[in-house]
Amino acid sequence: MKKQVIDLRSDTVTRPSRGMLDAMFAAKVGDDVFGDDPTVIALETKAAVLFGMEAALFCPSGTMTNQIAVKVHTRPGDEVICDAGAHVYTYEGGGIAFNSGASVRVIQGDRGRITMEQVASCVNPTDIHFPVSRLVVAENTSNRGGGSYYDQQELERISLFCREHSLRFHLDGARFFNAMIATGNDPLQTGKLFDSISICLSKGLGAPVGSVLLGTGEFIHQARRVRKVLGGAMRQAGYLAAAGIFALDHHINRLEEDHDRAKRIGRLLEACPFVTQVVPIETNILVFTLSGMMPDVEFLNYLKEEGILALGFGPQTIRMVTHLDITEPMVGRLAEVLKNCQM
Ligand SMILES: *Cc1c(COP(=O)(O)O)cnc(C)c1O
C-alpha cells in the first residue's frame, strides 16, 4: 500500500478543495488586461475594503507584488531598509537591484522583526554621499523568523516615524492572516499604517495562485503599469481570482487549526532527544535544530522514507509548516515516526 504523503515543506503545497474548484469553474471572466474581468475586480475590491485601502491589484505571486511595490516607491540609487532575512531581500533573486536599482540597508531584527529605533539608526542624513533612504519593509508574519508576528504598537511606532521622515512603509503580508488570527488585530488598523500591503492567497489561504497588492489609487495605477512591464498582466484571470475570493471567505478563521497543530508538533519535537532547540511557535511555522548526532540530511531522508516531507532551513536546521491539507491523522502519524526515529 502506498503511504499518503505528509507534505510539511511549506503552506504553498495545498491543492484546491472541491469547493474552491467549483467556485473557479463557476467564475464569470473577461479580459483583465482590458480591465473587464468581473471576478478579478471583485477580488481586488474585496481585498481593498478589508484593509480600508483605496485600491488593489491582483498579481501572479507575492514576489511580484513586493517587487512592484519597491519599484513604485523608489528611484534607482534609493535605499530600502528591512530585516536581513526579509523575503524581499533574501528570497527574491536580488530583485531589488535587478528591477529597481535600489540598495538595501539590512537590520538584524528579532526573529525578523525590526523596531522603530533600528529603522531610525539606518536613515541616512541628507548629504550627497549617501543613498536616499526611501522605503521601509516589514514582514508579518516573518518567514525566516519562524512565523513570528509583530506587536501592533511597534508597527504603529515605525509607521509614525516613516510619516515624519518621508519614508514609505510597505508590509510584506504574505502571511498577514496568520498574524491576524494569532493577535486578533483588525486588518483596518493595519491598512492605516502602511503605504502599501502585499497579501498572498497561495500560502495558508490555500489558493493555487495569486497575491494582491494594496495601496492608494495613484499607487495602484502605477503598480498596474509595472505589472504589465514584468509580464504579470493576465487575461481571463478571474478563474484564479475566484479561488482567491473563496480563500478569503472560507480559509481565514481556520488558520487557528494550523497554529494549534504547529504547537502540538512543536511539543512532539521538544520530546525528541536529537532536537536541540525548537524556535518558539507563534503561528504555523516550526523551525528547529538537530544535535550533531543527527545529521540533517539523514533526518530528512528518514522522514522522506516514511512519506513525510520537511525543508532544510540552514545547517542542522529544519522547517515544517502546517496548512490546510495537514489533517489530524497526519499529526498522529508524524508523532509515531518521530518516536521511532533512531539516533
Ligand atoms: C512566500 C512569500 C512571499 C511571496 O512568494 P511567492 O512564492 O512569490 O508568492 C513573499 N514574502 C514572504 C514572507 C513569503 O513567505
Q: From the CA of 88, how far away is ligand 1's center (Å)?
A: 8
Q: From the CA of 247, how far away is ligand 1's center (Å)?
A: 17
Instruction: Please check whether residue 8 lies inside any domain of the structure.
Output: no
134 and 82 part of one domain: yes
pLDDT at site 53: 98
Instruction: Please check whether residue 13 lies inside any domain of the structure.
Output: no
- 139 in ligand 1 pocket by Cβ < 6 Å? yes
215 and 318 part of one domain: no
Instruction: Please check whether residue 59 lies inside any domain of the structure.
Output: yes
User: CB count, 10 Å around CB of 304?
Assistant: 12
* Residue of 64, 33, 12 lying closest to 238 (CA atoms): 33
pLDDT at site 34: 97
Instruction: Please check whether residue 127 lies inside any domain of the structure.
Output: yes
pLDDT at site 115: 98
* Residue of 291, 292, 293, 312 lying closest to 301 (CA atoms): 312
278 and 173 part of one domain: no
211 and 276 part of one domain: no
290 and 274 part of one domain: yes
Amino acid (1-letter code) at residue 312: G
Task: Provide mean pLDDT across the span 180-193.
Answer: 97
278 and 293 part of one domain: yes
Instruction: Please check whether residue 53 lies inside any domain of the structure.
Output: yes
Q: From the CA of 205, how far away is ligand 1's center (Å)?
A: 13
**What is the average pLDDT value for the chain, to the nearest integer?**
97
Domain closes at, from 192, 218, 250: 250
Nearest CA to ligand 1 atom 6: 62
Q: From the CA of 340, how far away is ligand 1's center (Å)?
A: 34
pLDDT at site 11: 97
Domain closes at, from 250, 266, 287: 250
Q: From the CA of 202, how far away is ligand 1's center (Å)?
A: 9
The best mutation among 144, 199, 203 to test binding of ligand 1, ranked by most ligand atoms within 8 Å of the C-beta, falls on: 203
Burial tier of 84 (Cβ tally within 10 Å: 0-12, 13-18, 19+): middle
Instruction: Please check whether residue 226 lies inside any domain of the structure.
Output: yes
Determine contact, residues 55/141, Cβ cutoff 8 Å.
Answer: no
**pLDDT band of 1, cuts 50, 70, 90:** very low
Sign of the C-alpha dihedral computed for residues 296, 107, 12 and 268 taken in this order: positive
240 and 264 part of one domain: no
336 and 187 part of one domain: no
227 and 310 part of one domain: no
238 and 213 part of one domain: yes
pLDDT in tens, 67-93: 999 999 999 999 999 999 999 999 999
Q: Between vectors from CA 92 to CA 87 and to CA 96, what angle results, nearest 5°?
A: 100
Instruction: Please check whether residue 54 lies inside any domain of the structure.
Output: yes
* 30 pLDDT higher than 80: yes
Instruction: Please check whether residue 2 lies inside any domain of the structure.
Output: no
132 and 24 part of one domain: yes
* 282 pLDDT higher than 70: yes
pLDDT at site 342: 72
Which H, E and C letters describe 202-267, residue by residue?
A: CCCCCCCCCEEEEECHHHHHHHHHHHHHCCCCCCCCHHHHHHHHHHHHHCCCCHHHHHHHHHHHHH
Q: Which CATH number belongs to the domain containing residue 318 in this structure?
A: 3.90.1150.10
Q: The whole model's pTM is what?
A: 0.97
Domain range for 325 is 254-340
pLDDT at site 343: 61
- 174 in ligand 1 pocket by Cβ < 6 Å? yes
pLDDT at site 4: 84
Task: Provide mean pLDDT across the span 124-153.
Answer: 97
- 199 in ligand 1 pocket by Cβ < 6 Å? no
Number of domains in the chain: 2
Q: From the CA of 243, how far away is ligand 1's center (Å)?
A: 18
Task: Provide mean pLDDT across the span 108-135.
Answer: 98
Domain closes at, from 202, 235, 250: 250
Task: Provide mean pLDDT across the span 272-299.
Answer: 96
171 and 159 part of one domain: yes
pLDDT in tens, 241-278: 999 999 999 999 999 999 999 999 999 999 999 999 99
Please name the helix (run of DSSP H) or strand (run of DSSP E) that holds residue 152, with its range, or none.
helix 152-164
* 132 pLDDT higher than 80: yes
- 109 in ligand 1 pocket by Cβ < 6 Å? no
Task: Provide mean pLDDT across the span 275-302.
Answer: 96
Q: Which CATH number belongs to the domain containing residue 234 in this structure?
A: 3.40.640.10
